[in-house]
Amino acid sequence: MPIKTSLARARQRKSYKGKKTMAMRASAPSTNTNSPNYATDQVDEELISSMAGASTFPSSHFPPMIPDLFISDPPIRDALATDTSNLQDGTIDECRPFLAARFQGIDYNEYGVPHLDRERHIRFLRKSLGRLPAPFVAADASRPWIFYWCLNGLSLLGADVSSYRDDLVETARSMQNDTGGFGGGFGQRSHLATTYATVLALSIVGGESAYEVIDRRAMWKWLCALKQRDGGFRMSIGGEVDVRGAYCAAVIITLLNLPLDLSPDSPAWTADEFDLLTGLADYVRRCQTFEGGISGKPDAEAHGAYAFCALGCLAILDAPHRIFPRYLDIPRLISWLSSRQYAPEGGFCGRTNKLVDGCYSHWVGGCWPLIEASIHGPLSEGDEVTTYAAVHDLYSREGLIRYILCCGQDQTKRGGMRDKPSRTSDAYHTCYVLSGLSSAQHITRWHPSSGEGIMAHLTYDVSPLVEDHQIFDEEDRINATDPVYAIPEENRREIMSYFLSKPGF
Residue ranges in contact with ligand FPP by CB under 6 A: 193, 244, 247-248, 303, 305, 309, 350-351, 354, 357
Residue among 313, 359, 367, 406 flagged as catalytic: 359
Binding partner of residue 309 among ligand FPP, K ion, Zn ion, none, CB cut-off 5 to 8 Å per kind:
ligand FPP
Q: How far is the CB of 403 from Zn ion (least distance, A)?
A: 12
> Any catalytic annotation for residue 303?
yes
Q: How far is the CB of 125 from Zn ion (least distance, A)?
A: 17
Q: How far is the CB of 198 from ligand FPP (least distance, A)?
A: 13
357 binds K ion (CB under 5 A): yes
State which residue has the least CB distance to Zn ion.
Answer: 359
> Any catalytic annotation for residue 78?
no
Cβ-proximal residues to 482 (8 Å cutoff; 6+ apart), any chain:
462, 488, 489, 491, 492
> Any catalytic annotation for residue 419?
yes
Q: How many residues of this chain interact with K ion, rule: CB under 5 A?
A: 1
DSSP 410-449: --STT--B-SSTTS---HHHHHHHHHHHHHHHEEEEE---
Residue among 285, 429, 442, 477 flagged as catalytic: 429
> Any catalytic annotation for residue 357?
yes
Binding partner of residue 305 among ligand FPP, K ion, Zn ion, none, CB cut-off 5 to 8 Å per kind:
ligand FPP
> Any catalytic annotation for residue 14?
no
> Site residues for Zn ion, window 405-434 (CB under 5 A)?
419
Give me the phi and psi of 67, to 5 degrees please. Answer: -60, 145
Binding partner of residue 4 among Zn ion, K ion, ligand FPP, none, CB cut-off 5 to 8 Å per kind:
none
CA 340/CA 352 separation, integer angstroms: 7
CA 415/CA 431 separation, integer angstroms: 13
The DSSP symbol for 257 reads T
357 binds Zn ion (CB under 5 A): yes
Cβ closest to ligand FPP, residue 143 vs residue 244:
244
Q: Which helix (H) or strand (E) holds 460?
A: strand 460-464
CA-to-CA dists, residue 1 to 31, 56, 59, 64, angstroms: 18, 10, 10, 16
State which residue has the least CB distance to ligand FPP.
Answer: 305
Residue among 189, 286, 354, 414 flagged as catalytic: 354
Q: If 0-12 CB within 10 Å is exposed, 13-18 middle and 19+ buried, where does residue 59 land?
A: middle
Upstream peptide bond of 135 is cis (omega within 30 degrees of 0): no
> Any catalytic annotation for residue 354?
yes
CA 464/CA 388 separation, integer angstroms: 13
Task: Please give the residue ranges that form the binding site for Zn ion (CB under 5 A).
Answer: 357, 359, 419
Residues classed as catalytic:
303, 351, 354, 357, 359-360, 419, 426, 429
